[in-house]
Amino acid sequence: AMSDEEITYENTGQVIDPVSDSMPKAFDEPTDNDKELTAFVIDHTDKWREYRDQNYLDSWLKYERVWRGVWEAEDKQRQSERSRVISPATQQAIETRHAEIMEAIFGNGEYFDIKDDVNDQTGGIDVQHMKECLTEDFAQDKVRKAIDSITLMGEIYGTGIAEITVGSEKQYKPMQVPIDQKQMAYGVGEKDRICVKLHPVNPKNFLFDPNGMSIDDCMGVAIEKYISIHKIAQGIASGKYRNVDIDTMYESDDIEPTKETKNFEDDKVKLLTYYGLVPKEYLSTEQFAEIEGTESVTDDYSDMVEAIIVIANGTLLLKAEESPYMMKDRPVISYQADTVPNRLLGRGTAEKASNMQSSVDGSMRSHMDSLALTTAPMVAIDATRWPRGAKFEVKPGKAVLTNGVPSEIVFPFKFGSTDGQSMETSKEFERMLLMATGTIDSNGTVSAVARDGQSMDMATATMIKKYKRVLINFQEDFLMPFIYKAAWRYMQFDPERYPSSDVKFIPTATLGIIAREYEQKQLAFLMQTLGAQSPLTPILMQGILENSSLSNKAK
pLDDT of residue 461: 64
pLDDT of residue 400: 83
Instruction: List, in sequence order, every residue forming a beta bridge with 187; answer none if it has no partner.
Output: 175
Cβ(85)–Cβ(361) under 8 Å? yes
As a whole number of angstroms, the distance between CA 150 and CA 444 comes to: 27
Single-letter amino acid code for the residue at 52: R
Rg (the chain; Cα; Å): 32
- Mean pLDDT of residues grouped by 10 in the chain (555 residues)? 42 46 68 92 96 95 93 87 90 90 80 68 66 91 94 95 93 85 86 93 96 94 95 92 92 84 90 95 71 58 91 94 93 94 94 92 88 83 86 82 86 79 84 81 44 50 74 88 92 90 72 62 81 85 74 70
pLDDT of residue 415: 76
As a whole number of angstroms, the distance between CA 545 and CA 526 comes to: 15
Residue 513's CB is within 10 A of a number of other CB atoms, namely 14
SS3 assignment, position 410 = strand
As a whole number of angstroms, the distance between CA 143 and CA 338 comes to: 22
As a whole number of angstroms, the distance between CA 51 and CA 64 comes to: 20
As a whole number of angstroms, the distance between CA 488 and CA 484 comes to: 6
As a whole number of angstroms, the distance between CA 525 and CA 544 comes to: 12
Distance of CA 203 to the CA centre of its chain: 8
As a whole number of angstroms, the distance between CA 227 and CA 249 comes to: 10
pLDDT of residue 125: 59
As a whole number of angstroms, the distance between CA 113 and CA 505 comes to: 6
pLDDT of residue 449: 43
SS3 assignment, position 154 = helix
pLDDT of residue 509: 58
Whole-angstrom CA distances from 75 to 71, 255, 259, 343, 361 are: 7, 21, 15, 28, 10
SS3 assignment, position 512 = coil
As a whole number of angstroms, the distance between CA 503 and CA 490 comes to: 13
For the entire predicted model, the pTM comes to 0.80
pLDDT of residue 4: 44
Q: Which residues have CB under 8 Å from 112's CB, separation 6+?
A: 131, 134, 479, 480, 483, 505, 506, 507, 508
Single-letter amino acid code for the residue at 323: S
Short-list 277, 292, 154, CA closest to 221: 277
Q: Which residues have CB under 8 Å from 200's CB, separation 6+?
A: 146, 149, 150, 153, 161, 162
| Burial of residue 8, with CB atoms counted within 10 A of its CB: 0-12 exposed, 13-18 middle, 19 or more buried | exposed
Q: How many helices (H) and strands (E) does the chain have?
A: 16, 12
